[in-house]
Amino acid sequence: MEDPQMNDNDVLVQRTGHLGHLVLNRPQAMNALNHGMVLAVAAALDAWEKDDAVATVLISGAGGRGLCAGGDIVSIYHDARTGGHQSEQFWRDEYHLNARIKRYPKPVVAFMDGVVLGGGVGISAHASHRVVTERSRIGMPETGIGFVPDVGGTYLLSRAPGELGTHAGLTGSMVSGADAIAMGLADYFLDSSLLPTLAAELAERNASSAVARHGQEPPESALINARDWIDAAYSAADAGAIVKRLAGSGVPEAEKAAATILAKSPTAVTVTLEALRRARALGSLEEVLDQELRVSLRALRWPDFAEGIRAQLVDKDRNPAWQPAALADVPAAVVESIFEDLGPDELGLANARNGSVAVQ
């Protein structure tokens, strides 16, 4: 994995009026986050918190294709093959940033336009004012590379209505802007052509009034219309039972979801389901991020993570050899061990908030 140093232009740090604007600027990589970018965003937030001239922070992406396509997974793949030490520090800093955005004392507006995946969700969907558009395609696709949703993704998905988040997490599917609002991943819908106008107004106007002034009625959510079969299937006891219900539902969309899940890493699917159900019972984002680090560090060392990245992003043969190959063969004891406390290596975000009231 690359050194935390980055190209000076990977994050553009701009000030206009009362607005601090952070532009993720790796358009050739769809603004995929590297370690240096995480540190740069965190440093800007630290500086602007103390700057009374900055009233609002805006996070957007350069290049027109999307806010951010996730973390720099290929770098993590190469690092994992040599011990994974830089990946571990990257995740620690990234998860701290996710919590920082959630608790930031000033409004944080995120333009979730275009593709917003994985780490892109983490840097935007914890903001106070989350704006989606007709171009938004938002998702946590980790099960397809033998990994588990992180960056607070299991916190967000576990709090979606009914089992919508479970469906999105297990299938790794992308959702529209309207679906994201219905799931609680976003707040406002806006035509993408109006984003520059809104950005200009944020420099002069209160964030809530500026966003509300341009917000539009979102289109109908396809996911909400599918809640009957989604809730019926994904409430089953385990991943195998979920797939069985989906496949036997007689609903073409559900049958397609079953096939999609069966193509993912069985270990990742099983652990993701457990992570979502545990996250639902936890009280704060910090507690969930602590849990996600436990899972991520152990996932870094299981064979499916390296194999999934190889098949999807390195060799691109799209033919991963998962170990084990079937949901029924994932040992329950292995799943349980993935959630064990890390001892002195715990992330410790929840403990750092002791004595304060957790915000749900």
Please choose, from the candidates 69, 61, 52, 71, the residue with its C-alpha nearest in 3D space to the C-alpha of residue 21. 61
Please choose, from the candidates 105, 117, 91, 100, the residue with its C-alpha nearest in 3D space to the C-alpha of residue 31. 117
Distance of alpha carbon 159 from alpha carbon 183, whole angstroms: 8
- Reply yes or no on whether 286 is catalytic: no
290: CB partners within 8 A, 6+ apart? 346, 347, 348, 349, 350
- Reply yes or no on whether 142 is catalytic: yes
From the candidates 150, 201, 274, 307, give the one annotated as an active-site residue: 150
- Reply yes or no on whether 36 is catalytic: no
The separation between CA 144 and the C-alpha centre of its own chain, rounded to angstroms, equals 14
From the candidates 36, 70, 71, 144, give the one annotated as an active-site residue: 71
DSSP assignment string, 141-179: -GGGGT----TTHHHHHHTSSTTHHHHHHHH---EEHHH
Distance of alpha carbon 23 from alpha carbon 163, whole angstroms: 33
Radius of gyration in angstroms for the set of CA atoms belonging to the chain, rounded to a whole number: 20
From the candidates 142, 201, 287, 292, give the one annotated as an active-site residue: 142
From the candidates 61, 119, 120, 308, give the one annotated as an active-site residue: 119
Distance of alpha carbon 263 from alpha carbon 144, whole angstroms: 8
Residue 301: strand, helix, or coil: coil
Cα dihedral 115, 121, 127, 128 sign: positive
- Reply yes or no on whether 119 is catalytic: yes
Instruction: Encode 68-91: b = buried (16+ Cβ within 10 Å), e = exposed.
Output: bbbbbbebbbbbbeeebebbbebb
How far, in Å, are 100, 116, 169, 351 from residue 139 at the CA level?
Answer: 21, 7, 8, 29
Distance of alpha carbon 231 from alpha carbon 249, whole angstroms: 12
The pairing of beta strand 108-112 with beta strand 56-61: parallel
- Report the DSSP beta bridge partners of residue 111: 131
Residue 132: strand, helix, or coil: strand
The residues assigned a catalytic role are 71, 119, 142, 150
